[in-house]
Chain A
Amino acid sequence: MGWVVFAVAFWLATWFLNAWIARGPHAQTRAAGLLVPVIFGVTVIVVWEALVRGLNVPGVILPPPSAIWVKLVSATDILWEDFVQTFVKGALSGYIIGCGAAFVTAVLIDRSPFLQRGLLPVGNFVAALPIIGTAPILVMWFGFDWQSKSAVVVVMVFFPMLVNTVQGLADTTTMQRDLMHTYSASYAQALVKLRLPAAMPAIFNGLKIATTLALIGAIVAEFFGSPIKGMGFRISTEVGRLGLDMVWAEITVAALAGSAFYGIVAMIEKGVTFWHPSQRS
Chain B
Amino acid sequence: MNKLLPILTVVVAIMVVWYAAAVGMNKKWALDQAERAGISLSTGALISDTWSQDRPRLPAPHQVVAELWKSTGGMVIKGKPFSKRSLIFHGWITLSATLAGFVIGTSAGILLAVGIVHNKAMDMSVMPWAIASQTIPILAIAPMIIVVLNSIGVQGLIPKAIISAYLSFFPVVVGMVKGLRSPDHMQLDLLRTYNASGSETFWKLRLPSSMPYLFTSLKIGMAASLVGAIVGELPTGAIRGLGARMLTGSYYGQTIQIWSALFAAAILAATLVGIISLIERRMLKRMGAA
Tell me whether A152 is interfacial, beta carbon within 8 Å. Answer: no
CB <8 Å contact, A39 and B125: yes
Count of chain B residues with Cβ under 8 Å from any Cβ of A? 60
Q: Which of A22, A62, A125 contacts B120 (CB 8 A)?
A: A22
Which residues in B have some Cβ–Cβ distance to A below 8 Å? 2-3, 5-11, 14, 25, 57, 120-121, 123-129, 132, 134-137, 139-141, 143-144, 147-148, 151-152, 219, 223, 226-227, 230-231, 234-235, 242-243, 246-247, 249-250, 253, 255, 258-259, 261-262, 265-266, 269-270, 273
Given contacts A133-B246, A224-B247, A247-B144, 9 further A-B contacts (CB under 8 A): A19-B120, A22-B120, A37-B125, A128-B223, A129-B265, A220-B231, A258-B136, A258-B137, A259-B136
State the Cβ distance, A148 to closest chain B Cβ, in Å.
11
A69 to B120, CA, bound (A): 32
> Are A115 and B136 within 8 A (Cβ)?
no
Query: Chain A contacts of B9 at CB under 8 A?
Result: 114, 118
A242 to B235, CA, bound (A): 13
Q: CA–CA, A253 to B38, complex, Å?
A: 56
**Is the contact region of chain A dominated by helix, strand, or loop, or is it mixed?**
helix
Minimal beta-carbon separation of B239 from chain A (angstroms): 16
Asked whether, in the complex, the Cβ of B147 is within 8 Å of the Cβ of A240, the reply is yes
A213 to B255, CA, bound (A): 25
> Contacts A119-B10, A137-B259, A220-B139: A130 and B226 contacting too (C-beta < 8 A)?
yes
A199 at the interface (CB under 8 A from B): no
A67 on interface, CB distance cutoff 8 Å: no
Residues of B near A128 (CB, < 8 A) are 219, 223, 269-270, 273
Closest 8 interchain pairs by CB?
A118-B6, A40-B125, A136-B250, A118-B10, A262-B135, A19-B121, A117-B6, A36-B124
Q: Contacts of B152 on A, CB cut-off 8 Å?
A: 61
**Chain A residues engaging chain B, CB cutoff 8 angstroms:** 15, 18-19, 21-23, 27, 32-33, 36-37, 39-41, 60-62, 114-119, 121-122, 125, 128-130, 132-134, 136-137, 139-141, 211-212, 215-216, 219-220, 223-225, 231-232, 235-236, 239-240, 242, 244, 247-248, 250-251, 254-255, 258-259, 261-263
